[in-house]
Structure formats: C-alpha cells, structure tokens
Homo-oligomer: A and B are copies of this chain.
Amino acid sequence: MIDKTSPLPLYYQIEEAIKQKIEKGDWEPGSMISSEREFAENYEVSRMTVRQAINNLVNDGYLTRSKGKGTFVSSKKIEQKLLGLTSFTEDMKSRGLEPASKLVSFQKIQANHKLAKSLEIQPSEEVYEIKRVRLADDVPMAIETTFVPVQLLDLQEIHLKKGSLYSHVENAGFYIDYATQSLEASIAREAESEILEIAKGAPVLLIQRQTYLTTGKPLEIVHSVYRGDRYKFMIDMKR
C-alpha cells in the first residue's frame, strides 16, 4: 500500500503504484480508474496529493483525464517530441543540390502481418507500395519505398510522380501530426548496390520513417536506403 513514514513522497508512491498496475496490465487500456476522491479516501491522503500523482502520469502519457467523466488508462504511450520534418526534396535543395526522383514501381499489394501492424490496419487490407530512386544532381542518392494504406487515400499514379504526398494529403483534409524516424548503418545488398551505383558491401544508411495524422492513424511508412559515401544526415537543434 502506502507508507506514510517513508522518505519517499506520498504522491510518488501513489504514482508508482498506479503505474505498476498499468504496466502489469491489471488495468485495461481505455478503462476508467478510481476517481481522485476515491483514491484520496483509500490512501488516506488529500485529493491534491492524488492529483499530483495523476498529473505526472498524465504528463508521461499513462493516463488521460476527461472533465466530468473520469481518468482513463491511455491506449499507448504517445511520443510528443518536436523537430523539423523535411522531405528529400527540401533536404537536397538546402544542400544546394538539384533533387530529382525516378519512379521504379507503383502497385497495390496486400499488407503482410508486420506492415499491417505498423500501419494499424488489417492484414488483409491493401496498401500502395511506391518505389522510387532519389537523385541529387543526377547521382543516385537513395532508394525509397513508401507504404500508404489504400483506404486512406485514393491515390492515382499521376499524383505521385509529381508533387509531394504531403501536399496531396493536406488537400484531402488530412493533417500530419508527428513522425518517428530511425536511422541505422548497414551494408548494401546486391540489388541496392546496383541501383545506387556503389559496390556491394558498401556502407548504407537505412532510414525508416513513420508518419501519423492528427487523427492518430498512421499515414505512411517510408523505408529509405541512402548511400553512405555521399549522404550525411544533418540535424539542427535550436532551443
């Protein structure tokens, strides 16, 4: 329970107790937890102390509050960190290079299990798979594969050859909320080395980006393979 003689603050003990319940899965996502007054009574502390505990958990994304209704277990921890989201085109322009793009293939495919899970759709649902080679000053710079759920937008090939997916999406009334990106070093496989005009086994930078709409649904997954000898990924961080 709770130890009033402990040097640990009461709100912290309560916070940890609740967090544990959530992480152990005792409380289902979406379910309502006890009201602040109930907690206060059970733990024999004031309501403000309970609020401090819950506040921290809300800030950490474990709980969400709803005035007049209650406090609920969040469905998943959401990240809310900020940064600029640049496209390949903008990226290259800012380096003084002339960006270009060559469409390799464009097709509807059936999502496999992993892809479906990432895009939060059913495995049976269809997704567009768009493969492109990205060029800078006519030199192949990256291979980019984009996956977008068909249900989300009825894309037509023409839209994707020219113009950005993002502006197209915004015209359709959807808005990008945030994205997560991961980078890792790897080595070029044969197919990739051919397209990128580098040696097999040469270093490449794998970048995977997942973009979310304000609706909370994933918009796209982009998997890119950049050649390591010519491409540097730059981040500027201002306060």
Seen from chain A, the residues whose Cβ lies within 8 Å of a Cβ on chain B are 29, 59, 75-85, 176-187, 201-205, 226, 228, 231-239
Pairwise interchain contact A182-B79, C-beta atoms closer than 8 A: no
- How far in angstroms is the closest Cβ of chain B from A165? 16
Given A178-B237, A239-B77, A239-B177, decide whether A183 and B83 contact each other with a Cβ distance below 8 A: no
The contact of A181 among B76, B79, B205, B235, by CB within 8 Å, is B235
- When distances are taken between beta carbons in the complex, the residues of chain B under 8 Å from A239 are 29, 75-78, 82, 85, 176-178
Q: Beyond A81-B82, A82-B238, list 7 extra A-B contacts (CB 8 Å).
A: A77-B239, A81-B81, A81-B83, A82-B237, A83-B83, A178-B238, A185-B228
A74 (CB) vs chain B CBs: closest residue: B239
Alpha-carbon distance between A196 and B237 when the two chains are bound, in angstroms: 28
By the criterion CB–CB under 8 Å, are B186 and A234 in contact? no
Residue of B nearest to A179 (CB): B237
Minimum distance in angstroms from A24 CB to a CB of chain B: 14
List of B residues within 8 angstroms of A204 by Cβ: 185, 203
Q: A187-B203, A203-B203 are in contact. Are A238 and B182 (CB under 8 A)?
A: no
